[in-house]
């Protein structure tokens, strides 16, 4: 999935390469992503380290698990 490849890129080069690849195959999809602030979905642009966690709100994930108990 090219969107996932773009979102999970950790370096500027891999991000730019993935963006170009997505632009070539689905320019509307790339534009849709770029209309959302990159800090919200891109590991490379994240203001804080993600440590391999691809959710912006870990507490919501924990709450979902606790609610099912």
**DSSP sequence for 18-55:** HHHHHHHH-HHHHHHHHTS-GGGT-TTT-SS--TT---
User: What local confidence, expressed as pLDDT, does residue 18 receive?
Assistant: 96
Residue 58 and residue 22: Cα distance in Å, rounded? 28
Q: How far apart, in Å, do the first and last CA atoms of the chain sit?
A: 33
Per-residue pLDDT 10s for the chain (69 aa) are 899 899 989 999 999 999 999 999 999 999 999 999 998 888 888 877 666 666 656 666 666 777 776
Residue 46 and residue 22: Cα distance in Å, rounded? 20
Global model pTM greater than 0.75? no
User: What local confidence, expressed as pLDDT, does residue 12 receive?
Assistant: 94
User: What local confidence, expressed as pLDDT, does residue 41 receive?
Assistant: 85
């Amino acid at each position: 999935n090219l969107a996932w490849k773009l979102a999970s890129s950790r370096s500027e080069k891999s991000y730019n390469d993935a963006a170009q690849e997505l632009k070539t195959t689905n320019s509307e999809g790339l534009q849709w992503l770029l209309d959302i602030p990159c800090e919200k979905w891109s590991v490379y642009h994240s203001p804080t380290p993600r440590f391999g966690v691809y959710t912006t709100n870990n507490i919501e994930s924990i709450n979902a698990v606790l609610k099912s108990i």
